[in-house]
C-alpha cells in the first residue's frame, strides 16, 4: 500500500524537542481529520526554502512506497483560479518540479498558526475534545 510523506514548512530550529512536538502536533491533527490507520509520514521541513528543497529531492528520487507531498504557508492571499504551483511560482519563483503533479502541493491558509490558537473552544466544537 502506498502512503504519503508530507514535507511541512515550519517547526522551529534543529532542537530535538521541537521535532517531537512538531510530529506529535501534526499526528493529532491528521488523526482528528480521520486519517488514523492511514497516517502520512511527517517531515519537518524547517524554513520554507529548505522544505521545498527536501520535497524536490524526494520527487527526483522516487519511492514506490511513499508519495511526496508539499505543505507550505501561502504567505498571502491566493488569486482565485490560480493553482498552487502558479502561486508558488509567482510568490517564490519556484517551478513545479518535473514529475510532480498538481495534487502534490498544498498551501496552508494565511496565518494558519494564528487560526489554530485563536479560538480553541470553536476548534474543540468542530474537531472534538481530542483536538
Cα atoms in the 13 Å half-sphere on the side-chain side of 6: 22
pLDDT of residue 96: 98
The number of distinct structural domains making up the chain is 1
pLDDT of residue 40: 94
Asked if residue 17 has pLDDT above 80, the reply is: no
CB 47 within 8 A of CB 10: no
For 19, the domain range is 3-127
Cα atoms in the 13 Å half-sphere on the side-chain side of 102: 4
Residue 40, number of CB atoms within 10 A of its CB: 18
pLDDT of residue 13: 65
CB 75 within 8 A of CB 91: yes
| Assigned C-alpha cell, 113 | 498558526
Q: pTM value?
A: 0.81
5-19, 47-61, 72-86, 115-129: least confident range: 115-129
Amino acid at each position: 500500500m502506498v502512503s504519503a510523506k508530507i514535507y511541512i514548512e515550519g517547526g522551529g530550529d534543529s532542537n530535538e524537542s521541537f521535532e517531537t512536538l512538531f510530529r506529535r502536533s501534526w499526528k493529532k491533527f491528521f488523526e482528528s481529520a480521520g486519517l488514523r490507520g492511514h497516517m502520512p509520514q511527517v517531515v519537518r521541513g524547517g524554513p520554507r526554502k529548505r522544505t521545498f528543497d527536501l520535497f524536490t529531492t524526494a520527487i527526483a528520487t522516487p519511492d514506490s512506497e511513499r508519495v511526496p507531498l508539499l505543505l507550505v504557508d501561502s504567505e498571502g492571499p491566493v488569486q482565485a483560479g490560480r493553482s498552487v504551483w502558479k502561486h508558488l511560482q509567482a510568490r517564490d519563483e519556484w517551478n513545479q518540479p518535473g514529475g510532480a503533479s498538481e495534487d502534490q502541493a498544498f498551501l496552508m491558509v494565511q496565518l494558519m498558526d494564528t487560526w489554530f490558537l485563536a479560538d480553541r473552544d470553536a476548534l474543540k466544537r468542530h474537531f472534538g475534545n481530542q483536538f
